[in-house]
Amino acid sequence: MIEVGIVGGSGYGAVELIRLLEHHPQVRIKHIFSHSKIDEPINKTFPHLNHLTHHYEDLNIEDVTCDVIFFATPSNVSKHIAPKLIEKNIKVIDLSGDFRLTNRDVYKQFYGETAATQQHLDQAFYSIAEWGTTNQKDLQLIANPGCFPTATLLALHPLVDNKVIQNDSIIIDAKTGVSGAGRSLAQHVHYAEMNENFSAYAIGKHKHKPEIEQYISRLANEEIKVVFTPHLVPMTRGILSTIYVKLNKQMTAEHLHDVYQQYYDNKTFVRIRDLGEYPKTKEVYGSNNCDIGIYVDEESQTAIIVSVIDNLVKGASGQAIQNLNLMYGLNEATGLQQLPVYP
Amino acid sequence: MIEVGIVGGSGYGAVELIRLLEHHPQVRIKHIFSHSKIDEPINKTFPHLNHLTHHYEDLNIEDVTCDVIFFATPSNVSKHIAPKLIEKNIKVIDLSGDFRLTNRDVYKQFYGETAATQQHLDQAFYSIAEWGTTNQKDLQLIANPGCFPTATLLALHPLVDNKVIQNDSIIIDAKTGVSGAGRSLAQHVHYAEMNENFSAYAIGKHKHKPEIEQYISRLANEEIKVVFTPHLVPMTRGILSTIYVKLNKQMTAEHLHDVYQQYYDNKTFVRIRDLGEYPKTKEVYGSNNCDIGIYVDEESQTAIIVSVIDNLVKGASGQAIQNLNLMYGLNEATGLQQLPVYP
Amino acid sequence: MIEVGIVGGSGYGAVELIRLLEHHPQVRIKHIFSHSKIDEPINKTFPHLNHLTHHYEDLNIEDVTCDVIFFATPSNVSKHIAPKLIEKNIKVIDLSGDFRLTNRDVYKQFYGETAATQQHLDQAFYSIAEWGTTNQKDLQLIANPGCFPTATLLALHPLVDNKVIQNDSIIIDAKTGVSGAGRSLAQHVHYAEMNENFSAYAIGKHKHKPEIEQYISRLANEEIKVVFTPHLVPMTRGILSTIYVKLNKQMTAEHLHDVYQQYYDNKTFVRIRDLGEYPKTKEVYGSNNCDIGIYVDEESQTAIIVSVIDNLVKGASGQAIQNLNLMYGLNEATGLQQLPVYP
Amino acid sequence: MIEVGIVGGSGYGAVELIRLLEHHPQVRIKHIFSHSKIDEPINKTFPHLNHLTHHYEDLNIEDVTCDVIFFATPSNVSKHIAPKLIEKNIKVIDLSGDFRLTNRDVYKQFYGETAATQQHLDQAFYSIAEWGTTNQKDLQLIANPGCFPTATLLALHPLVDNKVIQNDSIIIDAKTGVSGAGRSLAQHVHYAEMNENFSAYAIGKHKHKPEIEQYISRLANEEIKVVFTPHLVPMTRGILSTIYVKLNKQMTAEHLHDVYQQYYDNKTFVRIRDLGEYPKTKEVYGSNNCDIGIYVDEESQTAIIVSVIDNLVKGASGQAIQNLNLMYGLNEATGLQQLPVYP
């Protein structure tokens, strides 16, 4: 059994890790940490987990003995702790943004804080699990991608990798359910104000913009900037990313569809929809799937790619477990085969 | 023009008073007070009011010069301030619970704080506007009823007044939209946890229980206790109160329906539905209406009354304006004739 | 492997059976029937099941060869077909109401159609799975309980069985999410009219009223009538039933809580909340759990029981699988251990 | 008094016209037509209008005697009837798409039916009310704009008119609440499937694409094509249109903001937000306002414009009344000054 601990145990990332890991045949949850709720039973905070006997623990690095620690924390937490765990030979999978950006200035600009050391950033592997490295087993520190980047990069990857688009033309109009904002209270996610309300936010300033840029720039081997507009949808779960790109040559929808089909042929969790059909967020609710729909406006040589995930599963905890599976040489789908909850 | 001020200007009660009063032909909003946002423009907090040029003011009793002050505050505010305003001959309409209960011990028990003085409590008139006193003009202090009590008492009033029920048999199963919990942040009304969630709360402990009991006890001239269970519905506005009572004699649905029809024949805002039809909360959304449906289970001599209001209008700000109209001898519907927003 | 077929394959009951059975280690779905979609691939109707290669089949009784058939159909379907399957030695689990009521006149009154024959009704076993018979294996025809009755009877059972209440005092104020109305289109569940709307419906006429009465009458060995008011909540899944009963003697909340604790001590899926806490529907979302909260109003000797389930799981497909497990002597929780999806 | 009739009286456009016209000081609703509900009282279909004594009428052209007829019908209705009304000197305001497109082939392509005659199309005036003609009074037939085009064109107008953008660069990512799909039943707007669900639809095929193109092409005096992707949001009311355009020269956000401020300085219903703030749909809920937010990505010379309206008010019935006001030389805001319902 792989013994794991979860830091940030009172948040949504943690509670979703628990939901999924409880069905993972090779994993045992040993510790759940929360520095604001030390010694409290978890099922007091989350009554739906009332079969769980765990109590929240204080994270005391000397005493931690498990194999893997998940950080399901806000930014500015893991960068202070993860390096010490790695020294103790404990693997870290970080769901926060602390180890995603390799450029410390960019981190400073978008996160408003000092980044982790360059050495630790270099040590981290940013892992969209569909393209995990073959030697994933030797990894000590995985930066688990953000929710918007996951939905977006799974859609952009075949385009950039196959060099079929103008790399300076990428526009990402992304929409997320409210759980993406986390469990901390804020006026704009107060029920009475968020319900029956749709809005754009953080245009040009969202932390996931440089994350997307860094990844596709590396993939394309040139610096790429994107236009990225996040929106907040009055629903709990789900991300839909609508991506507009200029094709760099005439291409039919059928042709582009083939590109995607082949690209994801052997990937468990990415499903390409038939032409003329577009995925809906509810169709991946509660699952680790990413469903993708494709449209080509031949007139303007614009491709429109629609990509959906459950932000808490493929966009966070599910992908983190998928990465754990890769680290341990397990089938990537182990413990992750729950079907979408529909309706 | 009647010049009014609003205390608690950053809450939902205030913003709804503003929405309605802006269409009141005889009222001018002179002051909007908020001690946490002094000098800030109101439309910074509420961008939908961007035509409004008011700034939040500090409430300085000496400087207040308007005719009426509305308190749209949490409990434990108006009881300290309203008496001083009354001394200055400013009328007060209190949307909070501070002057609703005449028994100071009961207030202490349910509100957890010391009540206003008995003298001031005795001075207050608890005004379900449909039964305002004829000499309402002389009133200085109106205790505007709570949202659950309004929906419930409009349904119970004909039954108790006509002495057709067993007064010890009243069960009130009440459901409210989330705006009833106010604008202050709390975990249970955080969008991601409130959405797709329905729950009961505060059973036996809700402040509106003694308020209902006090009113109908006075009406019946005997002490009456009720069973009262509030529930929270994943929607913003609306209250539906389902009331179960034992009839004290055999009575058909048709007969009981006649009782209600006659009772509310000349009331603008109370509408009795045809037998077999029950009102839905959306059918009063944004309006000052109270719609009532009636069922009689002849087998068990149980009447079931279903009553709906918009908690922020008839359950708070709308009724407060209706009370203002009565105070000034205006038609009770002045400024309140907006139709429900449907769908 | 137990080979099963599902009739009514384009509805919500079926799609939920599929979600759960795909994780059941002992079951293989052999046929999915839908007479309106014969030969169509299932994943055209339900794109979220795009891994599924099944096509809808026409139900041709001669050709059916599996072990168990689930009916996830409206009423008036299974009563015509199930008897023929049973003759072929195929077990039937009926999620519809056709075999729930043993009195054919009552069926006629509430369903508006002629009932199944008395012989077939007598053959059916109405199975709240927590009280399945020990010789469940010999059963050929299970009437799977309705959603409201499941939530309600799990709450009432300890009270009636322990004879602690006045049996003529039962009032059930029940609330359901909209998926309970099924997948067929209707104006009142059109999104724009159902959203932000809460209502009561079918008071005194709902099919689940006689179902509840029949069950507890048998349990109490006397004829019991209940007052039953269903309500529709603007959310997809979840039932909360608030039940009011008069205790037949003075009893503290602690005492009543003990009764429930003991009663459900060895039941996997029924969880009794601590005193002062009430379950929310989201806390059982997607799971087969039934969570129960208890309140006693000592003043009026009224107990208030709050019970929640997911109407599509414990209220339909989950309980059907639980019943299948009992039929085959499996652990009742086999394939049903998915945790609630929260938030 | 202006006497008006409404065709399509059982739909959402009609019910919103009624809500607003009931407060219009110069208008009396004389007829409400619905060929499926002839002679039924309106408040049977819409109980929230129970004060209304109108019955649905059959539209018999000879007998119609009012001044203005509103068509709140699906497409393919008004084109057959409106010409006959005009002959009788009755003005027509058509909320459907029948007279919006002047090119009959384009109508055929997107609506799938034969268009009105060219003569009648030429007679119609497509009126975004902010740019109504000065001789609006002489108009006989107004084509009231679609909901998406209204939100989008109010945002694009200053850009195209001021020639600051590359006209071939326009991408419109539009999101609408579900009431935009009308009152007719359909699976994708069935509550249980629409709730907690976000999706794109009709990419490249939506009727509002050519409507937008026609308008801005005329404004720019060159043929312009746009990329237009509509999305469906799980909420009842509201449209948010996110528009991406390439500026044709370097321009700061401040400069572009000034352009908008000046452009809409004297327009009652268009409100430009401060830089860094973006409007939310709820901030215009129930009102005739269009609120606009502006962002400039100087790096890529891309402007992002966020525009919100209530699809049933400014996107349909409100603008229709605004157009009526212009036709009769009234202040454009007459009867339309209701503030947004918030929260």
- Under-50 pLDDT residues of chain C: none
Residues C198-247 have pLDDT tens digits of 999 999 999 999 999 999 999 999 999 999 999 999 999 999 999 999 99
Q: Are B241 and B174 in contact (CB under 8 A)?
A: yes
Residues B205-262 have pLDDT tens digits of 999 999 999 999 999 999 999 999 999 999 999 999 999 999 999 999 999 999 999 9
Class of domain D2-145+314-327 as given by CATH:
alpha beta
- Hey, is the C-beta of D104 within 8 angstroms of any chain B C-beta? no
Work out the minimum CA distance from D213 to partner chain A, whole angstroms.
Answer: 14
d(CA C305, CA C299): 16
Q: Where does the pLDDT of residue D135 fall: very low under 50, low under 70, confident under 90, or very high at 90 and above?
A: low
Of D9, D291, D324, the closest CA to residue D150 belongs to: D291
Of B99, B331, B89, the closest CA to residue B207 belongs to: B99
Taking only residues 257 to 316 of chain D, the set having a beta carbon closer than 8 angstroms to any beta carbon of chain B reads 271, 273, 277, 279-280, 282-287, 291
H or E element: which one contains A158? helix A147-161
The pLDDT of B3-17, averaged and rounded, is 98
Of D215, D207, D203, the closest CA to residue D98 belongs to: D207
Of D95, D79, D15, the closest CA to residue D323 belongs to: D95
Query: What is the pLDDT of chain D when averaged over all its residues?
Result: 96
Q: Where does the pLDDT of residue A132 fall: very low under 50, low under 70, confident under 90, or very high at 90 and above?
A: confident
pLDDT at D137 over 90: no
Homologous superfamily (CATH) for D148-312: Dihydrodipicolinate Reductase; domain 2 (3.30.360.10)
How large is the greatest C-alpha to C-alpha distance in chain C, in angstroms? 63
Identify the pLDDT of residue B134.
60
pLDDT at D100 over 90: yes
Q: Where does the pLDDT of residue B40 fall: very low under 50, low under 70, confident under 90, or very high at 90 and above?
A: very high
ipTM: 0.97
Work out the minimum CA distance from A67 to partner chain D, whole angstroms.
Answer: 37
Identify the pLDDT of residue B5.
98
- Of residues B187 and B137, more confidence is placed in B187
Q: Are D99 and D74 in contact (CB under 8 A)?
A: no
Here the tokens at position C243 are 């039940």
Tell me which chain A residues have a C-beta less than 8 angstroms from the C-beta of C340: 19, 48
Identify the pLDDT of residue C26.
98
pLDDT at B141 over 70: yes
Q: Are D125 and D139 in contact (CB under 8 A)?
A: yes
Q: What does the domain layout of chain D look like in residue ranges? A: 2-145+314-327, 148-312
d(CA B316, CA B288): 9
Residues written for chain A: 343
Catalytic residue among A29, A42, A101, A147: A147
How many contacts (CB atoms, under 8 Å) link B and D?
76
pLDDT at D136 over 90: no
Structural domain A2-123, CATH architecture: 3-Layer(aba) Sandwich (3.40)
Identify the pLDDT of residue C132.
80
Mutual angle of helices B104-111 and B208-220, in 10-degree steps: 150
Q: Where does the pLDDT of residue B133 fall: very low under 50, low under 70, confident under 90, or very high at 90 and above?
A: low
The pLDDT of B1-16, averaged and rounded, is 98
Identify the pLDDT of residue A198.
98
In SS3 terms, chain B reads as: CEEEEEECCCCHHHHHHHHHHCCCCCEEEEEEECCCCCCCEHHHHCHHHCCCCCECECCCHHHCCCCEEEECCCCCCHHHHHHHHHHCCCEEEECCCCCCCCCHHHHHHHHCCCCCCHHHHHHCEECCHHHCCCCHHHCCEEECCCHHHHHHHHHHHHHHHCCCECHHHCEEEEEECHHHHCCCCCHHHEHHHHCCCCEECCCCCCCHHHHHHHHHHHHHCCCCCCEEEEEECCCCCCEEEEEEEEECCCCCHHHHHHHHHHHCCCCCCEEECCCCCCCEHHHHCCCCCEEEEEEEECCCCEEEEEEEECCCHHHHHHHHHHHHHHHCCCCCCCCCCCCCCCC
How large is the greatest C-alpha to C-alpha distance in chain D, in angstroms? 63
pLDDT at A164 over 70: yes
Q: Where does the pLDDT of residue B79 fall: very low under 50, low under 70, confident under 90, or very high at 90 and above?
A: very high
pLDDT at D138 over 90: no
Any chains having at least 3 CB pairs less than 8 A from chain D are A, B, C
Neighbours of D82 (CB within 10 A): 28
Residues A90-123 have pLDDT tens digits of 999 999 999 999 999 999 999 999 999 999 999 9
Residues A25-65 have pLDDT tens digits of 999 999 999 999 999 999 999 999 988 999 999 999 999 99
pLDDT at A137 over 90: no
Residues A325-342 have pLDDT tens digits of 999 999 999 999 999 999
Of C101, C62, C105, the closest CA to residue C84 belongs to: C62
Taking only residues 9 to 28 of chain A, the set having a beta carbon closer than 8 angstroms to any beta carbon of chain C reads 12, 15, 18-19, 22-23
Q: Are B182 and B12 in contact (CB under 8 A)?
A: yes
Tell me which chain B residues have a C-beta less than 8 angstroms from the C-beta of A196: 236
Interface with chain A: mutation pick from B183, B187, B189, B190, highest number of A CBs within 10 Å = B190
Interface with chain A: mutation pick from B179, B191, B342, highest number of A CBs within 10 Å = B191
Of D233, D235, C341, D149, the closest CA to residue A240 belongs to: D233
Identify the pLDDT of residue A138.
81
- Hey, is the C-beta of D203 within 8 angstroms of any chain C C-beta? no
Chain B residue with CA closest to A182: the answer is B192
Residues B277-294 have pLDDT tens digits of 999 999 999 999 999 999
Identify the pLDDT of residue C133.
67
Class of domain A148-311 as given by CATH:
alpha beta
Q: What angle do CA A198, A201, A203 make, to 5 degrees?
A: 135
d(CA A134, CA D295): 42
* DSSP string covering D172-204: EEEEE-GGGG-SS--GGGBHHHHTT--EE--TT
pLDDT at B83 over 80: yes
Neighbours of D27 (CB within 10 A): 24
pLDDT at A314 over 90: yes
Question: Percentage of chain C with pLDDT > 90?
Answer: 97
Identify the pLDDT of residue C137.
72
pLDDT at B18 over 80: yes
- Hey, is the C-beta of B205 within 8 angstroms of any chain C C-beta? no
